[in-house]
Amino acid sequence: MKRSTGQRLLDLLVWAIVALTLAPVAFMVYASLSDYNDVVAGHLVDAHFTPHWSNYREMWVNVDFLAFLRNSLVICGFTTLFATLLASLAAYSLARFRFRGNHPFSVAVSTTQVIPGMLFFLPLYMLYIQLDDAGLPMMNTYHGMIFLYTAMFTPASIWIMRGFFVSIPRDLEEAAIIDGCSRLGAFVRIVLPISAPGLVATASFVFLLAWDEVFFAWVLTSSPDVQTVPVGLRLYMGQHATRYDLMMAAAVVSVLPVLAAFFASQRWFIKGLAAGAVKG
């Protein structure tokens, strides 16, 4: 069957959007491998281009980027684990049980996503200061950042997971309960395996948000022992404001873990988003 002109134009539009989206990424990688003088002069297009891998070596020498990567992996990893776990339990309760305040709570969870996080900064900062004075350190700590990110990203995760749990037939759980399984056992053995694509999609969503967050990480951390990749990248840019080749190299390194995580879970992530769009 021949494709219509409209379909071809639509395909062309999609490829144009893809090209525009990938162009900055391609420029970032190309500039990170270019000579400093060529980047400053704007002479990036060269038929005899030779990659300057020394940019990455120099970038690692100038700053302990591995420490920032470790901090991000620890904070984002535990945030993803806790937010996904709490969201699964809360979303399952909202999807399966009817209790007083069920609907208002669901609406409140969705409403939190339209409130800018910046509005929470001042009361959160004062709370952390008071907890520090009370002997419970929250500023400049792993658990302080994990607690904050978990609280920030759990509401959106609940909203995503609820759609998956609603779409799962109740008959499957009831059959498991009749066979002697408890409600929690049915949830763990029946519901969670079926909703695995949703869990992966939610976990990926939380991980990406936590990895990219910079404002709270910048304000609530002051030690390289806790600071994450976005903060380290910002500090690095401040120290090497004119070394665009090194800044591009640092940006490429900060993106690699996210790309690795996405491609590792790509099949489940896309399947989960598609299922949520159809069922939710």
Lookup result for tokens 């509401």: 155
What's the pLDDT at 74? 93
**Is 224 buried (19+), middle (13-18) or exposed (0-12) by CB count in 10 A?**
middle
Mean pLDDT of the region 70-93: 92
Element (H, E) at 70: helix 65-96
| Contacts of 235-242 spanning 24+ positions with Cβ under 8 A | 235/63, 236/59, 236/62, 236/63, 236/65, 239/62, 239/63, 240/62, 242/40
Q: How far is CA 244 from the centre of its chain?
A: 26
Six token digits for residue 198: 């949703």
- pLDDT(145) > 90: yes
Six token digits for residue 118: 């910046």
Percent of the chain with pLDDT over 90: 13
Residues 243-261 have pLDDT tens digits of 777 788 888 888 887 888 7
**Of the candidates 35, 24, 81, the residue with the CA atom closest to the CA atom of residue 210:** 81
What's the pLDDT at 47? 62
What's the pLDDT at 79? 95
Mean pLDDT of the region 87-101: 84
Using DSSP's 3-state secondary structure scheme, residue 181 falls into coil
- pLDDT(236) > 50: yes
The dihedral sign for the CA sequence 117, 226, 244, 248: negative
- pLDDT(123) > 80: yes
Mean pLDDT of the region 218-232: 87
How many other C-beta atoms can be found within 10 angstroms of the C-beta atom of residue 118?
9
Instruction: Enter the pTM of the model.
Output: 0.79
What's the pLDDT at 229? 87
Do 229 and 221 meet the contact criterion of CB atoms below 8 Å apart? Answer: no
- pLDDT(272) > 80: no
- pLDDT(169) > 50: yes
Mean pLDDT of the region 75-79: 94
